[in-house]
Structure 1
Amino acid sequence: MNLPKKFDDRMRELLKEEYDQYVESLDKDFYAGLRVNNLKVSCKEFKEISPYQILPIPWTNNGFYYEKENQPAKHPYYYAGLYYIQEPSAMTPAAALEVKPGDKVLDLCAAPGGKSTELAAKLNGEGILVSNDISNSRAKALLKNIEMSGVRNAIVMSENPKKLVSYFEGYFDKILIDAPCSGEGMFRKEPSMTKNWEEFGVDYYSEIQKEIIEYAACMLKPGGLLAYSTCTFSPEENEGTIAFLLERHPEFSVIKLDIYDQFDSGKPQWLDLEAEKEELNKCVRIWPWKVKGEGHFLTILKKKEDKIFEIKPNYTPKKFKISEELKSFLKDVKINFNENCFESIEDRIYYLPEDMVSMKGLRILRSGLYIGDVKKNRFEPSQAFASALKMNEYNRVINLSGDDPNVIRYLKGETIEVENEFESGWNLLCVDGYPLGWGKLSGTTLKNKYYPGWRWLS
């Protein structure tokens, strides 16, 4: 690999005797990982049905290595949202952030959604997850992954973090920032990122990171936790950003993490940060020559509980009359909905998380769970709703085995014929007990309602 000379010289200077190990690691293949989506399946259950040989990633409870030739993105279980394909080191921040059901959580730079979907699994349907990415195009990919993973309680938006402060000051229990960075830790996996490094360098991202982490600090409740991570080696973007926060916000302190014995500590000496040395040593560095993963940096900070300040929920969904068509459909859904959380926007029906604040004026891609559309004399359930259901939560189900050719036909958008007798109307098509999407059955013909944008591409 042809490393940028300026970067190579700096790494040689910083790593000293470990530099040769770093260079050798660049000639080795990167490791592939998948993270089991515990919203849909337990790790124990997934191990029993996994179509591939998988080995546990030691710093997560639900991450596994797989052989790249297996191509797990070309399996029906991927479309059922049973796992998310994610670089092993990148699983660490969401795994390390202590999130519990009922928390209000912000993933500030969330696309494409790997960390958001894990945070949602930890919430287990309770509380609120706000997943934001400033890039609208990237936020659309984030939305797809949120919905495919079956998340019911997420707000997906595309906003400048600065604008969010006036809406959410002191609101969140937990915040995760996987900050935009120079990407030095990913050069092995994505060599093209060296061009981005040469164009923008370290200083460009360092300034952005300082702005973002200050906005996050304002949105965190006293007593809350803030996770900051990057996939770069640069101390300016890592320890330097944390030192900046600690200086500007003395109410924060770094939490010592004991995740994995091959992870390294922070390197305050690389920036002569003696004043914050004790705190910055608690940061975590992941080196690709020490673990089976790429380069990463992680810090968890806690905000002191020195004042009482909290936003009270101030948003009430607009009242609307539930149509007879929607009532009829919901009779087959075995979920105890709170009718006060339904909202209709231009004939689209959403089920909103409780304890929301008003977000008028923000660019929101999705508020809560998209249930479906009310049309003339009928209701059509959404793909997102199908993905959010468990098989036993809907009365009319067609459950196919993973090796049934009709599964792939369905995922490709084809009409399929079913052999057994099923009740006509909306049916939830599942693979091995896990929902894929809707079909409308007439006789033995299932009209395909799988979302076109998610279809299997051969």
Structure 2
Amino acid sequence: MTALPERFVERMKRTMEEEEAASFFASYDENAAHGLRLNPGKISRDGFTDRMPFSLTPVPWCPPGFYYNEEDRPGKHPYHAAGVYYIQEPSAMAVIEALKPEPGDRVLDLCAAPGGKSTHIAGYLGDRGLLVANEIHPTRVKALSENLERWGARNILVTNETPDRMAERFPAFFDKIVVDAPCSGEGMFRKLPEACEDWSEEKVAHCASMQTDILADAAKMLKPGGVMVYSTCTFAEDENERQIERFLAAHPEFSLDPVAQQEYFTPGKLEHTVRLWPHKLRGEGHFLARLRKSGDTEALETVQEEKVKPLSADVRRVFEAFCREALTFTPEGRYALFGDQLYLLADGLPRLNRLKISRAGWHLGTVKKGRFEPSHAMALALKPEEWKSGVDFSADSEEVLRYLRGETLFWDAAGKGWTIVTVDGFPLGWGKLVQGQLKNHYPKGLRML
């Protein structure tokens, strides 16, 4: 059994009936559930269950979610590198199902790293709307960007800002917001035993204070009529029901909506909030509240759209030459050059000046010395009908492993130049055919050892 903090045990015994407390603590003798979520931009649900070489069981509250067996090790499979699925704790999948993003929405994931909620949102948006994924910690924002790129998300803005700075720049801007708040992590004690060592009553109080500030900033960014989901992975009432009570008292323009698929969850101590308990379902501890903002939609403040300079003739020439060589189309929209990095901006993107930006849309590639080099993000976001030349390997082949290790491959085939490397039809990255060799352009930082 996980060695639980003594004061945590005492508190839980005080707040639970004896029989339920016994079931709750007994759940720590069980193994944590393992989950993954398919990428609807790359594969259908039926295609996923037919093709995946894993033992999959549906997660009942998340249509794209599945349990898998620990011995399957999906993180080592080439399909993971291709962004066909995202590995995510099953209870955490409930958050975006409660938010219900729709194509065309402007959505903010305010505390976004490592990217589970953001990729889930991107899956529902498709290529319509805008996802702004923010992470305050510079080291964690890199992982967030990489996960969104592997997912193939195009219409994104990844920022590295504090919530109050975001609130200054995005007043009443978003249709939907998710605040998966930093918390004391009590719900993860079984999955992450190290969280037990980091826990203290002082940490609970500190997190509750921080959550209050984050929620207040998030409230400013939501449009009237918009929806915000607040979630934590803790059992502490001060971070959950009491936090929402304080928020509603300070923000009378908000009210609680019922959470979708409540039949799978336990009602919280505040009406319309829900708890996910590890002894009542296959997943870890979570809390969810869905909040709706009332108000006058006529009084919305206009956020100025990002203005970009037209690309120079030289940049446009080399990029369009690449598109003619490697793609069946030229991406349409507003281009922006940040240094030597070329991006296609999402529609409706606001002004970006004085914001710390990690990704400003779909990263297309690098322009240097009169040539264009496509990015890994471009490859992972392409659809099968969008590339001209492809080299396909099967998932169980030695060639695909060699490609993921960064090796040059011999390829006895006609053609030359940039080509997409795929695994069973799913894009993995770029290669360049040169005189019977496939030069490897898989990013060095992602290569298998």
What secondary structure, in the 3-state scheme, does the structure 1 residue paired with 2:49 have?
helix
Q: Is 1:13 matched with 2:14? A: yes
User: Which residue of structure 2 lines up, in the alignment, with residue 137 of structure 1?
Assistant: 139
Contact preservation (8 Å) 1:428, 1:435:
yes
Q: Is 1:395 matched with 2:411? A: no
Partners of 1:303 and 1:432 in 2: how far apart? 45
Correspondent of 1:416 among 394, 409, 413: 409
Contact preservation (8 Å) 1:168, 1:311:
no
User: Which residue of structure 2 lines up, in the alignment, with residue 299 of structure 1?
Assistant: 289
Partners of 1:436 and 1:37 in 2: how far apart? 14
Q: Is 1:318 matched with 2:309? A: yes
Partners of 1:262 and 1:344 in 2: how far apart? 47
Q: Which runs of 4+ in 1 moved over 4 A?
A: none
Cα offsets for 1:270-323 (capped at 9, x unmatched): xxxxxxxxxx21101000000000000011111114342143442122211243
Shift in alpha-carbon separation, 1:199–1:219, aligned structure 2, 3 A: same
Q: Which region of structure 1 is more displaced relative to structure 2, 249-258 or 210-219?
A: 249-258
Contact preservation (8 Å) 1:175, 1:216:
yes
Partners of 1:325 and 1:297 in 2: how far apart? 51
Partners of 1:422 and 1:207 in 2: how far apart? 63
Cα offsets for 1:47-105 (capped at 9, x unmatched): 11101110101110010010011110111000000000000001110122121111111
Q: Is 1:455 matched with 2:447? A: yes
User: Which residue of structure 2 lines up, in the alignment, with residue 207 of structure 1?
Assistant: 209
Cα offsets for 1:172-197 (capped at 9, x unmatched): 00000100000111101111101221
User: RMSD between aligned alpha carbons?
Assistant: 1.3
- Taking the TM superposition and a 5 Å limit, the aligned residue runs for 1:52-451 are 52-198=54-200, 200-267=202-269, 280-308=270-298, 309-321=300-312, 322-331=315-324, 332-335=326-329, 337-339=331-333, 341-419=334-412, 421-451=413-443
What secondary structure, in the 3-state scheme, does the structure 2 residue paired with 1:212 have?
helix
Partners of 1:63 and 1:27 in 2: how far apart? 25
Shift in alpha-carbon separation, 1:303–1:336, aligned structure 2, 3 A: farther
Shift in alpha-carbon separation, 1:252–1:260, aligned structure 2, 3 A: closer
Shift in alpha-carbon separation, 1:183–1:47, aligned structure 2, 3 A: same
What count of residue pairs does the alignment treat as equivalent? 443
Cα offsets for 1:199-258 (capped at 9, x unmatched): 743111000000000100000000000010000000100011111111111111111124
1:338, distance to aligned residue in structure 2 (A): 2.4
What secondary structure, in the 3-state scheme, does the structure 1 residue paired with 2:199 have?
helix
Contact preservation (8 Å) 2:98, 2:260:
no
1:324, distance to aligned residue in structure 2 (A): 2.1
1:335, distance to aligned residue in structure 2 (A): 4.1
Output the amino acid matched with 1:224.
G
Contact preservation (8 Å) 1:116, 1:131:
yes
Partners of 2:295 and 2:433 in 1: how far apart? 56
Output the amino acid matched with 2:94.
T
Partners of 1:310 and 1:336 in 2: how far apart? 34
Contact preservation (8 Å) 1:398, 1:422:
no
Cα offsets for 1:112-133 (capped at 9, x unmatched): 0000001011110111111001
1:334, distance to aligned residue in structure 2 (A): 3.0
What secondary structure, in the 3-state scheme, does the structure 2 residue paired with 1:316 have?
coil
Shift in alpha-carbon separation, 1:336–1:325, aligned structure 2, 3 A: closer
Partners of 2:193 and 2:204 in 1: how far apart? 17
Which consecutive unaligned segments of at least 5 residues does structure 2 have? none
Contact preservation (8 Å) 1:246, 1:252:
yes
What secondary structure, in the 3-state scheme, does the structure 2 residue paired with 1:261 have?
helix
Contact preservation (8 Å) 1:287, 1:294:
yes
Q: Which region of structure 1 is more displaced relative to structure 2, 21-30 or 316-325?
A: 316-325
User: Which residue of structure 2 lines up, in the alignment, with residue 271 of structure 1?
Assistant: none
Partners of 1:441 and 1:258 in 2: how far apart? 50
Partners of 1:307 and 1:379 in 2: how far apart? 44
Q: TM-score, normalised by structure 1?
A: 0.94
Shift in alpha-carbon separation, 1:262–1:103, aligned structure 2, 3 A: closer
Contact preservation (8 Å) 2:171, 2:303:
no
Cα offsets for 1:326-352 (capped at 9, x unmatched): 11111242346324x111121211000
Contact preservation (8 Å) 1:54, 1:66:
yes
1:260, distance to aligned residue in structure 2 (A): 4.5
